[in-house]
Structure 1
Amino acid sequence: MGRLYTISVAVLAATGSFLFGYDSGVMTDVIDSPNFLEYFNTTQTSSIVGAINSTFSGGAVIGSLQGGLTMDRFGRKFTIQLGAFLCIIGASLQAAAQNLSMILIGRILAGWAVGLMSMAVPVYQAECAHPRSRGMIVGLAQQMIGIGFIVSTWVGYGSLHAPATSQFQWRFPLAFQVVPALILGIGMFFLPESPRYLIETERYTEARRILHRLHSDGLNDAWIEAEYSGICTAIEAEKSVTATGWMAMFTVPQWRTRLLHGVAVQVFTQMTGINVIGYYQTIMYKSLGITGSRSTLVAGIYNCVGPLANFIFVVFILDRVGRRKPMLFATVAISLALSCEAVLNSQNPDGRKVGYSIGGVFFIFLVSVVFSMSFGPCSWVYMAEVMPMQIRGKGNAFAVGIGNWAVSTLWNQISPVALGKLQWKFYFVFVAWNLCISLPVIYFFFQETKQKSLEEIDLLFGGRSSALHEDGVSEPGTKRDIQQFDKAEMGPSALSIIQNVQ
């Protein structure tokens, strides 16, 4: 019962990730609408289109960073609900747009909402998940991102069958965002708060009750009590660090290291080039000679391939093979696929060689499959896992805001222009980064976190005893700090933490 309930909680919360995928993907079809381009007097490769997408990412940067404050002060549930509310406003502005300013403001608000949800949903899922299945539970965020892309594509594809004179082509896909936002905003009232947040805010009875509801199978009460004790011990130990606020992430050495891991995995995910493909794949297909409704149809099929691969990976593979190996494999595999894509494009400049065009589509699809079985789910899981409780809200906010959305904003702005001028040469930017930076950093510095509790991951990074101030302020988890706990009341998880820090 506990496992089923946890999955249900994770799926409903991941409606926020669905909005991430839908809002990110909807513009692919909107900018392919002849009526939209005529209405706003623009073209697909113009800087205006880049601005529409980059303002969305820019808003997400703001939302992600603001979420760090909201999560710590008001909780995980409130932050997700706030994102849903902002999404409703942003979607309404976009759907009713009479000028470019309304589109841009609506995209900023939608981005703000997605930024909030993109950092809050994985944290909420990770804090509710059992260690054995945390990869699958948090991986549902990426699964729902993919489903959001699928729905956006087919809603857009259907809408493009409206007459070229009809504004339905682009207003309906933009208005559809309101539906999942309403489901999420209302549904979160019925979900529990994160038990770790409840313990941090000293609501112990409620936290213990929720832990039992999330993880009980009728036979593991002792394990749940041990987990509860371990969480209490870890949070109390981390509270003994006197540094507070955003600067603590940079001044406490261990926290700084873990923050860098979270930021790095988000940057590396963006540098696979997956979002450039997601936003501008119809432009890529046109360079392969695939135009009109056929390019939208191919985009729809593309958006189905990734979620299918992701589902297989998160359900059957992720919690067995871990996080490092899939990401190491992906840096090489995606680089090879993008290199092959560039070669085929260079030999098929007018898109008339059918065999080369089919090959080009194959390698674009291959990037999606490899990404969905590596960086897609692993980036959210690893980022949520490596942050200690004391900075989990702000740390994830910074990692998503800077590592994901700030980098995404850059590529969203320059990619349409780069694809128009550099064409196939543009792909080698991502190839170089993957092989020269992502691959060695993941190999030498990333830790394997599979099937470890969030408190055990603290020890993997050196334990709370290493979280000292530069000026020598007392460390968390010292004998002085732990004397207030009665070891006889603690389970093995808590005792192992104490033994390590002593």
Structure 2
Amino acid sequence: MVATVGGMLFGFDISSMSAIVITEPYKRYFNNPHGVEQGAIGSALAAGSVVGSLMAGPISDKWGRRDSIMFACVWWLVGTSVQVATNGSGSLIAGRVLNGVCVGITSSQVPVYLAEIARKETRGRIIIIQQLAIEWGILFMYFIGYGCSKIKPDTDISFRVAWGTQYIPCVLLMIGLPFLPRSPRWLAKVGRDAEAIQTLADIQSGGDKTDPVVVAEWEEISTVLAAEREAQRGWRKFFYNGMWKRTMAGMSVQAWQQMSGANVIVYYIGYVFSMADLSGDINLTASGIQYALFIVFTSIMFFFIDKTGRRELLMYGAIGMAICHFVVGGLIGSYGVSVPEGVDGDLNVVVKVTGSPAHGVIAFSYLLIIVYALTLAPVAWIYAAEVWSLGTRATGMSLAAVANWLFNFALGMFTPPGFRNITYKLFIIFGVLCICAAVQAFFTYPETCGKTIEEIEELFRPGGPLPWKTKKGGSRLDAEIERVAQGGKPQIASQTIDEKGENSDHAEKV
């Protein structure tokens, strides 16, 4: 829970805008920003996050997962200070870019850290806490912004106080981080084997280094690591033989999470509900309900994520979201009335539906978020953290996060002008993209649920199983644990496959 406060920072920054952009103090102080200007403000976080994601891999490999998160917090403190002291759109964008650097690092390295310390049986649930933290951050900050909008509404104090509360989760994270263990896999990677074994024992068996689980898993980690040390160096290792499949899977699943269009609803739900004839406090309250639904349904998945698998959730979730997009777009396109001067004077909203079609827009916007919360929202982060090898995980997850944030930035820039210029067609585009996401998930994403992160490497090797023929579970580690418990030696080493897809001879070296 401490580590996932890094995700809460992401959530805080998302709704630090969504609850405020439709308030009068914001529109008055920043001269009613719309179109490209509002797009630049909204997407500034993502622009900084691209930079942070690119920095994250090398920093995490050198300093460790835990310390890279601490480094990210410094950027957050500076960025929040700039936002609180803003004197116009330029400084607001600058502050959000600095906050984005922090979010880029934490969004890529917190899942890496969680994946490397979690047991295979609970890895999905552990990583899903990251998504829940994002959603709680969104909810907290949204209603903080909502409440602060009532403070002297004729001044700019309302949004400054709201943005100032972003210090709180960051300070709590910085206090808690020194008490967390380092990743045993990172410790092994940098040659600190004794610490790695002890940390693994603390995680798996209450500190007992002779426990069969610890012995078998350490054998697997060290064998795979020995093989990777003799594999390709530099950026080539991300594309050599089977690695290109993992690179494509990790980056594309993050890109599809953005291109599904759900985060457009999260960022700009106030605009969508303005199209559906909601205004003032009713709009703000209805938007807040969406964030509560987000939390409730992701919480449900906490209990089932390690039982349902990853492939099905990615495929069927994308199809469900496509249906919601098509319905919302169809209702606005069929029943929308043009309002060139902007609904309630907001130049980002130039179409409005009323009556039953408006109710349908609201209902399917809620349903879209529910489907997203059950599927792509948590699973994309889990899957992207699982598919990399030990030697590529930190930088690989950074690449995945770069894909996420590049599309986040593009969509953040595109959406306000899109609402203004193509209105309902924006939802049709996202619906088509969701169908494309489902197709790729079927053909290129093997099932990773219930397997150790070392075993997942074999799913992507040349000649490996076809993705649609893979099943959840079936980990060989269980058999190895039983063999060790009966006094035998683990056989994992002899089964390890190196990056060339050939039988590894590193067992003897280990």
Aligned residue identity for 2:328: E
Structure 1 CA distance, aligned partners of 2:178 and 2:491?
A: 34
Which of 236, 246, 253 is 1:258 aligned to?
246
Superposition deviation, residue 166 in structure 1: 2.5
The residue aligned with 2:376 is 375
The residue aligned with 2:46 is 57
Q: Percent identity?
A: 28
Structure 1 residues 171 and 490, CA gap change in structure 2 (3 angstroms): farther
The residue aligned with 1:336 is 323
The residue aligned with 1:438 is 437
Structure 2 CA distance, aligned partners of 1:339 and 1:217?
A: 51
Structure 1 residues 180 and 440, CA gap change in structure 2 (3 angstroms): same
Instruction: State yes or no: 1:282 paired with 2:239.
Output: no
Instruction: State yes or no: 1:198 paired with 2:199.
Output: no
Count how many residue pairs are aligned between Structure 1 and Structure 2.
465
Structure 1 CA distance, aligned partners of 2:45 and 2:213?
A: 44
**Kept after mapping to 1: 8 A contact 2:9/2:170:** yes
The residue aligned with 1:74 is 63
Superposition deviation, residue 292 in structure 1: 1.2
**Kept after mapping to 2: 8 A contact 1:90/1:109:** yes
The residue aligned with 2:280 is 292
**Kept after mapping to 2: 8 A contact 1:464/1:501:** no
User: Could you tell me the TM-score, scaled by structure 2's length?
Assistant: 0.88
Q: Deviations over 1:282-306 (max 9, x none)?
A: 0111011001121111111101101
Q: Deviations over 1:23-82 (max 9, x none)?
A: 112111121221122112133x33221111222111000000100110111110111111
Superposition deviation, residue 224 in structure 1: 1.4
The residue aligned with 2:125 is 136
Q: Deviations over 1:379-434 (max 9, x none)?
A: 11111110111111111111111x20001100100100101121111101111112
Instruction: State yes or no: 1:40 paired with 2:30.
Output: yes
Structure 2 CA distance, aligned partners of 1:145 and 1:463?
A: 36
Structure 2 CA distance, aligned partners of 1:143 and 1:419?
A: 29
Give secondary structure in 2 for the equivalent of 1:246: helix
The residue aligned with 1:471 is none
**Kept after mapping to 1: 8 A contact 2:325/2:428:** yes
- Point out where structure 1 has 5 or more consecutive residues left out of the alignment: 1-10, 466-487
Structure 1 CA distance, aligned partners of 2:263 and 2:489?
A: 46
Structure 1 CA distance, aligned partners of 2:245 and 2:43?
A: 29
Superposition deviation, residue 490 in structure 1: 5.4
Structure 1 residues 161 and 57, CA gap change in structure 2 (3 angstroms): same
Superposition deviation, residue 462 in structure 1: 2.1
Q: Deviations over 1:114-138 (max 9, x none)?
A: 0000000000000000001111111
Structure 1 residues 259 and 412, CA gap change in structure 2 (3 angstroms): same
Structure 2 CA distance, aligned partners of 1:495 and 1:442?
A: 31
Superposition deviation, residue 348 in structure 1: 3.3
Structure 1 residues 464 and 112, CA gap change in structure 2 (3 angstroms): farther
**Kept after mapping to 2: 8 A contact 1:25/1:149:** yes
The residue aligned with 2:385 is 384
Moved more, 230-239 or 157-166: 157-166
Q: Deviations over 1:212-238 (max 9, x none)?
A: 111216899111111011101111110
Instruction: State yes or no: 1:424 paired with 2:417.
Output: no
Which of 306, 321, 335 is 2:308 aligned to?
321
The residue aligned with 2:107 is 118
**Kept after mapping to 2: 8 A contact 1:28/1:279:** yes
State the Cα RMSD in Å: 2.0
Which of 144, 161, 180 is 2:150 aligned to?
161
Which of 14, 29, 36 is 1:24 aligned to?
14
Aligned residue identity for 2:366: F
Structure 1 CA distance, aligned partners of 2:493 and 2:116?
A: 17
The residue aligned with 2:398 is 397
Superposition deviation, residue 492 in structure 1: 4.3
Superposition deviation, residue 175 in structure 1: 1.0
Structure 2 CA distance, aligned partners of 1:69 and 1:267?
A: 22
Structure 2 CA distance, aligned partners of 1:167 and 1:330?
A: 41
- Point out where structure 2 has 5 or more consecutive residues left out of the alignment: 338-351, 465-486, 506-510
Aligned residue identity for 2:288: G
Structure 1 CA distance, aligned partners of 2:130 and 2:50?
A: 18
Aligned residue identity for 1:12: V
